[in-house]
Amino acid sequence: MPKSWTDDAPVPVVLQDHAHLKDSFAYKVKRKLLGNPLNRHSLGHQRLSKRYALGILSSDCISSSAYGSEQILIALLPAFGLAAFSILMPMTAVVLIILTIITLSYRNVINVYTKTGGAYIVSRDNFGPVVAQIAAVALMLDYIVTVAIQSAAGVAAIISTFPNLSPVKIPMILLVIGVLTYGNLRGVKEAGKAFALPTYFFVGCMFIVFGMGIYKALTGTLETLSTSQPGAIAVGESHGLLTAAAIFILLRAFANGGSSLTGLEAISDGVALFEQPEHVNARRTLFVMSGLLGSLVLGVSWFAHKIHAMPYESGTPTVISQIAKTIVGDGAFGQTMFIMVQLATMLILFAGANTTYSAFPILVNFVASDGYLPRQLTKRGHRLAFSNGIILLSGGGIFLVLFTAGSVEHLVAFYALGVFTGFCLAGFGMTRHALRNKTGAWRAKVFINALSGSISFFVVIIFAVVKFTEGAWLVLVTAPILVVSFLRLRRQYTREQEALSVKREHERATSIARHDVTVLVDSVDLATVGAIRYARSLNPRNLAAVHFVIDDRRAEEIQKAWALSDALDDVTLELIDCPDRRLANSTLDYAIRMTEKEDVELTLLLPRRSYSGFLGRLLHDQTAEEIAAPISQLPRVVATIVPFDVDRIATRSSIQFVPPEKKKAPVSPAPKLVAPINVEPVSHYAENITAISEIQWRKRAQVQGRVTSIKTAPRGSAPTLQVEIWDETGGVSLQFLGRREIAGLEVGSQMRAEGMVGEEEGSMVILNPSYELLV
């Protein structure tokens, strides 16, 4: 190309967008369903005030008050009869005491881990990676069960209002999970402020119900329900509390009530979402959330005790719906208020299920980043969500719904085991942290955290025993298998990383002087000629072709065709006997023989003919891959597969490109007509920003755009840095001499630059511009 200073040289141009491959049908469907892909640079970090954070992060926790008291009654009524309503209040008091202790423990977690402090992080930092995987498995199972149980409970609220929908209970639950999955794959963020509404709506409705109920209780107008309704849980005979069977049932009821405490860790997991000072705001929000949860659990239990609200075998109507129906009455206001309460209950339960679509993918992202889960779980999808984690979560939730027939009672058996395992590890982890650091009131911290860990451990043991036959066995069997699998996966990743790590003797990646290239020949055709042409471009010391003889007649035909081809007249064809027809073994023997000398490097080129989908795989073998696999294990031998698209030639098709969209520079208002000025003002700086497509060669310009490419000179050469920036109209290169980096500059950032426009290889370049990085 003529240089810019020579006569008749082409005028340099700005960089232009190239054509792109035509979208496949599958990608078009994906884009239709999920929308256009989001640029990773649009991934923002939204800070939340305390009131929004409370509504968004506490929906899982507060929604569990909708079924915690009911689960206690389900365990007590068949064994203790109507005395169960008297036992309910002491049992609720025990649950609230545990709530207080665990809240104080998580207060310490937030003070120490001011960005994110779930049980996984606490366990990893204080007990190491092995114990952390126990926390990871517990939390993963907890999140999967949360999706199932919250969706099932939300549908139960709908069926309590509209009993005719009971036959389609399972399809409704699956529909809810499907809608939540679809919304999160599209990028619906948990931090969206709309998700705060269900929490406040539910709390407001329940406090109105409680207020009306207290008034009716004080005036003696609070109705007591019949305990012999058809479909209700069978009421047993009352007997003593000190028998072994009675103690077992009390422990089972206590374990059921523990489901009210799920979701307490959400604040500690989302500390980074809060406005500054993060840990202070998160700590205050934690106390408010625990206070609201305690009030709701206490209110539901007290009114269930007062009106004798009975759980039903089918799960509907729910205890909370009976409380609302009894208190608000059957008038016009009562019916409206009842529907409002049920709507609020449904919304907060579904919002609680939705929170796991943010928490679960982030958790598995942490675990996968540490190497204990497949790396695919660390990748963001089409809309910047962790799509693989979302799909894994929804798949697990759907399995549990089908496995338990959508029964909240049966799902509780899977629930609190994972939750309290997390509480236990977080409590003991913070105990160890306090003992190591001994700062501030460390003795009080040790006491609170050790008490929290011990109580949680006690609950785990109770749950494992009393719920074993109801489904806890599945968790107890699955969890150790998953932990061992995680650790084994980590060992595999470690071995691979060590194998690929650059040792000191490998740091100088020098080339071996004697480089030979051999092309493996199966037939004389365009694929072989293309492979030979590519082999010549490698400038080998020796270029040869080898055919392993399995069929004498075919070998003779190849030899004749080789001799007649003008394109191959400078390459020697060697025929090697392959008596057992094992091409991989023969190729391995050949490669070992050719690299016996330490200074020889061998490249084997294997032409691979690509045929049409299923029919191509049916009619042709995949020999190239079978040969390349063992060859890759030899030192100083490289097997390179050279693809050749036969189907494209056979069908006379070509790659379809989509031309780039033509973008125009922003239209500026028409300038005023003024008398021409003959003398150009003297200036060494362009003050106004110019669209990149309108910059002119040999004139100064100020441009602004997004950094799409950064190229740094190798360490052994003169320091230079080349940055490519683009706006809506085109791109231009910025060249910085004498430096290899710019602090704060990264691909995707916005940059403004000003300087003289020059030329390099026909493209415009701004040399050593002044610049500004834009936030």
Q: From 588, 623, 649, give the residue that closes a domain.
A: 649
Span 607-649, pLDDT tens digits: 887 766 554 454 445 577 778 778 878 888 888 888 887 766 6
438 and 563 in a single domain? The answer is no
Is pLDDT larger for residue 590 or for residue 358? Answer: 590
Quick one: pLDDT at residue 295?
Answer: 93
225 and 343 in a single domain? The answer is yes
Quick one: pLDDT at residue 584?
Answer: 85
Q: What is the mean pLDDT of residues 597-604?
A: 88
Span 348-367, pLDDT tens digits: 888 888 888 888 888 898 89
621 and 721 in a single domain? The answer is no
Report d(CA 458, CA 305) in Å as an integer: 27
Is the residue at 210 inside a domain? yes
251 and 103 in a single domain? The answer is yes
Report d(CA 415, CA 259) in Å as an integer: 7
234 and 335 in a single domain? The answer is yes
Span 90-144, pLDDT tens digits: 889 998 999 999 999 989 888 888 767 678 889 988 998 889 999 999 889 888 9
Contact indicator for 377, 388 with CB cutoff of 8 Å: yes
Burial class (CB in 10 A: 0-12, 13-18, 19+), 703: buried
CA nearest 408: which of 304, 312, 292?
312
**pLDDT higher than threshold 60 for residue 45:** no
Q: Where are the beta strands (DSSP E) in 614-683?
A: 637-645, 657-658
521 and 463 in a single domain? The answer is no
Is pLDDT larger for residue 226 or for residue 302? Answer: 302
β-pairing, 657-658 vs 20-21, is: antiparallel
545 band by pLDDT with thresholds 50, 70 and 90: very high
**pLDDT higher than threshold 80 for residue 430:** yes
Is the residue at 389 inside a domain? yes
225 and 363 in a single domain? The answer is yes
Give the CATH number for residue 118: 1.20.1740.10
Give the CATH number for residue 722: 2.40.50.140
Is the residue at 261 inside a domain? yes
Give the CATH number for residue 596: 3.40.50.620
Contact indicator for 265, 354 with CB cutoff of 8 Å: no
Cα distances (Å, whole numbers) of residue 352 to 60, 153, 410: 4, 11, 19
Q: From 584, 618, 649, give the residue that closes a domain.
A: 649
How many domains, in total, are found in the chain?
A: 3
Report d(CA 575, CA 566) in Å as an integer: 19
Is the residue at 183 inside a domain? yes
Is pLDDT larger for residue 621 or for residue 423? Answer: 423
Quick one: pLDDT at residue 659?
Answer: 59
Contact indicator for 298, 309 with CB cutoff of 8 Å: no
Q: From 489, 522, 545, give the residue that closes a domain.
A: 489
427 and 522 in a single domain? The answer is no
Domain extent, residue 633, equals 513-649
Q: What is the dihedral of CA 435, 439, 443, 447, to 10 degrees?
A: -70
Mean pLDDT lowest for which of 240-249, 486-495, 742-751?
240-249
Tell me, letter by letter, the H, E, C secondary structure of 83-104: HHHHHHHHHHHHHHHHHHHHHH
Is the residue at 677 inside a domain? no
Is the residue at 655 inside a domain? no
424 band by pLDDT with thresholds 50, 70 and 90: very high
485 and 566 in a single domain? The answer is no
Q: What six digits make up the tokens of 400?
A: 């549990």
In this structure, how many other beta carbons lie within 10 angstroms of the beta carbon of residue 45?
Answer: 7
Quick one: pLDDT at residue 460?
Answer: 87
Quick one: pLDDT at residue 43?
Answer: 58
522 and 562 in a single domain? The answer is yes
Q: What is the mean pLDDT of residues 524-538?
A: 90
CA nearest 206: which of 327, 379, 382?
327
Backbone torsion region of residue 118, taken as left when φ is above 0, otherwise alpha when ψ lies between -120 and 50, otherwise beta: beta
Span 182-230, pLDDT tens digits: 888 887 554 456 778 888 999 999 999 999 999 999 988 888 888 777 8
483 and 616 in a single domain? The answer is no
Q: What is the mean pLDDT of residues 167-193?
A: 81
Is the residue at 674 inside a domain? no
732 and 642 in a single domain? The answer is no
Is the residue at 554 inside a domain? yes
